[in-house]
Amino acid sequence: MNFADIIAQIRLKKSYLCIGLDTDIEKIPSSLQSASNPQLSFNKAIIDSTRDYCVSYKINTAFYEAQGVQGWEAMEETVKYVGNTHFIIADAKRGDIGNTADQYAKAFFDTMNFDAITLAPYMGKDSVDPFLKYQGKWSILLALTSNASAADFQFISNDQNFPLYKSVISQAQKWGTSKNIMFVVGATKTEYFSEVRKLIPEHFLLIPGIGAQGGDLAEVSRRSMNSSCGILVNSSRNIIYASSGDDFAQAAASEARKMQIQMSD
Amino acid sequence: MNFADIIAQIRLKKSYLCIGLDTDIEKIPSSLQSASNPQLSFNKAIIDSTRDYCVSYKINTAFYEAQGVQGWEAMEETVKYVGNTHFIIADAKRGDIGNTADQYAKAFFDTMNFDAITLAPYMGKDSVDPFLKYQGKWSILLALTSNASAADFQFISNDQNFPLYKSVISQAQKWGTSKNIMFVVGATKTEYFSEVRKLIPEHFLLIPGIGAQGGDLAEVSRRSMNSSCGILVNSSRNIIYASSGDDFAQAAASEARKMQIQMSD
C-alpha cells in the first residue's frame, strides 16, 4: 500500500485508527480456547467486527512467537485474512546487519505480505537498507517510544544538543523518503510532537500509547497531524480486550467505532 | 546454564567458540533440499560434527523466520537437538516494552529453551527487565556492533563525552550483573576492547565478526579476554558454509577444529 493509497483509505473511512492485535492467549475468551487455533479465531472475529472503523492492523510478533509454531501460523493466517484493504504492520522491532536484515525483509515482506515493519535503529543504516529495497513497502523506525525508560538513551544529546531520537530521524531521512519511511513517536510524548514535525513535516508517524499507556487521542491528534493527516494512531488492549466475555468482538467494534467517530471530527 | 557452567565448559573443551547457525535455505547442499525440513537436517549434521569443538550455538532467528512456519519449527527442533551441553543463544535482537518483552521472554526462555537472547537496548530498561526475571537465563545487549554503520548512532557522545555504546554498558550494570548480562562487541572493533574492559572487567562478551566480516581471532582474543576467559567468539559462515558439497559437515568440523586449536593455546 503506497502513500496515496493510505491517504485514500483515511479519507474514505474518516479514520486513522490502527488496531493492535496483541493477542494474548491468556486473555482470549474461554469459548475460543477449544478452537484449533485460538489466536487466529480471536483475530478473525476482531477483524470482522472492526474493519470498517480502522485503516490499519498492527500485529505484535511477540504474542505469536510465545505460542511457537502455532502462533507463527496464526500470524501468517491473520495477515492473509486482513487482505489488501488495510495497511498491515508487523510490530517486530527487528534490527540486524545486512545479510540478516535481508532475511527479515524476506520473512515479513515476501514470505508474509506485510505492508510495513517496525525497526530498531541501534545498528544504523545497514539494518534498514535491505527493507527499503522492497517497492511499496515501509520501514517504521523507532524514534521516541512511549515507555518510561525511553529516556535511558533516546534523550542523550550529541555535541550539537541533538537528542538521539532526533539523530535517528535526521539520519534516516538520508536513507529513504516520506514514501517508504515512517517513525514511531509515543502518544505519551505529546510535548515533543512539534519538535518532531519541524524535522519531518511530511512523514507519517505511527503513534502507540493511547489508552492503556495514558495518551489522549484529541491532544495527540491536534499536536501531531499534518495537512494530509500524517498519523496512524494505534490502540491495542482498549479495543481487543474491551470485553472478556463472548461479546468481545461487539465490544471491540464499539470501542473502535468510538475512536473512529472522534477521528472523523 | 549459569556462569560457572559456562566457564567449566570452556575449560573442558579448551574452546570459547560459538557457532552461528545462520542457516540460509539457499546455501544448503542440494542433497538435503528434499529432506522434510532441510534447515533442520542441515543443522543436525553441523551440530553432530562440531559439538566437540564449541561451547555455544547461536541461532540467528531471521534465517528461520524467512521460511515461515517450517523455519520456526526448524528453530524449535534445533534447540532441542543441541540439548543442555551447550550454551544456546537466540540471536533475535528483540527489544520492546514491558508486556511485549514478557511475551518475547516467554517465547525464547519458556516455549523454547534458549539460555540467552540478544537484545537491542534502544528502548531502555523496560525492554530488558522482563528477561532478567528468568533465573539461569541471560540477556546479551548490543553495545558496539561489527557492522560499518554501527557508527551512525553508537558513537554519539553525551555531555560527559561518553559514546552511546558506553552509556548502554554503564546503564545496564544497574539492571543486572555479570551473571545474567553479556554484551555484544564486534570483532571488527578491537581498538575499543580496552575501553570496554575498563567498564566491565568481569562480564562475558559475545564477539561476532570473525572471518567473513574481517575480525582476526588472535588479536580479538588477546585484547578482550579476562582472567576467566570472559568471551564467546562467534563464527557463522566460515564454518557452516566451509563446503557447499556433500562434505559440508566434515568441512565445518575441520574449520571449527582449527579455531578450537587456536583457542586452546
Instruction: Summarize pLDDT for B106-127 with one digit per residue, the tens.
Output: 999 999 999 999 999 999 999 9
Instruction: Report the distance separating Cα A95 and Cα B127, nearest Å.
Output: 15
* Residues 6+ positions from B119 with CB-CB distance below 8 Å: B92, B93, B94, B95, B127, B128, B131, B139, B140, B141, B142
Residue A258 pLDDT class (50, 70, 90 cuts) = very high
The HSE-up count of residue A206 (CA atoms within 13 Å, CB side) is: 32
Q: Is the pLDDT of residue A210 over 80?
A: yes
pLDDT attached to residue A215: 79
Of residues A9 and B213, the one with the higher pLDDT is A9
pLDDT digits (tens, 9 = 90+) for B175-212: 999 999 999 999 988 899 999 999 999 999 999 988 77
What ipTM was assigned to the predicted interfaces of this complex? 0.96
pLDDT attached to residue A161: 86
C-alpha to C-alpha distances, A236 to A10, A63, A252, nearest whole angstrom: 19, 12, 10
A230: left (phi over 0), alpha (psi -120 to 50) or beta: left
Residue B21, φ and ψ in degrees, nearest 5: -90, 70
Give the cell for residue B57.
550455538
Which candidate, A142, A116, A120, A147, places its Cα nearest to that of A209?
Answer: A147
Catalytic entry in A27, A58, A93, A179? A93
**Percent of chain B with pLDDT strictly greater than 90:** 93
**Percent of chain A with pLDDT strictly greater than 90:** 93
Please indicate whether, in this complex, the C-beta atoms of B123 and A150 are within 8 angstroms of each other: yes
Which candidate, A264, A256, A218, places its Cα nearest to that of A52?
Answer: A256
Please indicate whether, in this complex, the C-beta atoms of A22 and B152 are within 8 angstroms of each other: no
Least CB–CB distance from B72: residue in A63, A72, A122: A72
pLDDT attached to residue A62: 98
Give the cell for residue A104.
527479515
pLDDT digits (tens, 9 = 90+) for A60-76: 999 999 999 999 999 99
Please compute the mean of the pLDDT values over residues A237-263 and round it to a whole number. 97
Please indicate whether, in this complex, the C-beta atoms of A122 and B120 are within 8 angstroms of each other: yes
Please indicate whether, in this complex, the C-beta atoms of A150 and B124 are within 8 angstroms of each other: yes
C-alpha to C-alpha distances, B176 to B34, B129, B139, B180, B203, nearest whole angstrom: 45, 8, 9, 6, 11
Residue A190 pLDDT class (50, 70, 90 cuts) = confident
Instruction: Report the distance separating Cα A190 and Cα A257, nearest Å.
Output: 24
Please compute the mean of the pLDDT values over residues A200-209 and round it to a whole number. 96
Task: Report the predicted TM-score, pTM, of the whole model to 2 decimal places.
Answer: 0.97
Best of A40, A58, A79, A153 to disrupt the B interface (most B CBs within 10 Å) is A153
Chain A residues touching residue B104 (CB < 8 angstroms) = 62, 65-66
Give the cell for residue B246.
556433500
pLDDT digits (tens, 9 = 90+) for A150-176: 999 999 998 888 999 999 999 999 999
User: What does chain A come to in residues?
Assistant: 265
Place of cell 534465517: B63
H or E segment to which residue A91 belongs: strand A87-94
The alpha carbons of chain B give a radius of gyration, in whole angstroms, of 18
pLDDT attached to residue A207: 97
Please name the amino acid found at residue A113.
N
Q: What is the mean pLDDT of chain A?
A: 96
Best of B63, B89, B134, B153 to disrupt the A interface (most A CBs within 10 Å) is B153
Please indicate whether, in this complex, the C-beta atoms of B123 and A145 are within 8 angstroms of each other: yes
Chain B residues touching residue A149 (CB < 8 angstroms) = 123-127
Chain A residues touching residue B147 (CB < 8 angstroms) = 97-98, 123-124, 126-127
Cα–chain-centroid distance for residue B245? Answer: 26
Please indicate whether, in this complex, the C-beta atoms of A73 and B69 are within 8 angstroms of each other: yes
Place of cell 522434510: B36
